[in-house]
Structures are given as C-alpha cells and as structure tokens.
Amino acid sequence: MKGSSWHVAEQFREAAPYLPMIQNANMSSWVQLEGMNPRPSPTHLARESEWAKAKVVFNCCNSVFKRN
C-alpha cells in the first residue's frame, strides 16, 4: 500500500513534531534536525530516519503552497 493516501498520512503524523522546525525554514533548523536523536547512541540509520521524516513534512508543506 506504499504511496497511498493512508501511507502519506501516517508518515506525516510521525513527522509532525518536526513541523515547527521546517516552518522556520532556515539552515540552522536543518542542522539541528540532524542532531536530534532520542536514542543514547545515534547511528547512521537513525539519522536517515530523521531526514526521511523531515522530507515527508517538507513535501507536504510544499504541496500545500503549490496548490494555492
């Protein structure tokens, strides 16, 4: 079911805590996002996961602006 609206909504729900950082849209926010990891020992995979969530929110925000 990848690519369905349910899948996108689920990804957006998971990425919602990062929305304020993306709304600020300055480079320091993006750098801060990479450093945010609640796990005690950050891994490369965890950082990729954080960026994946940020991309979902960013793409959702962009699609709203493109429609208006």
Q: Convert the pLDDT of each residue in 16-57 to its tens digit.
A: 666 665 555 544 444 455 555 555 555 556 667 778 888 888
Question: What span, in angstroms and rounded, lies between the C-alpha atoms of 36 and 38?
Answer: 7
Q: Which domain holds residue 22?
A: 5-67
Q: pTM for this one? A: 0.31
Start-end of H helices in the chain: 5-15, 19-24, 27-35, 44-67
First to last CA, the chain: 28
Domain count, the chain: 1
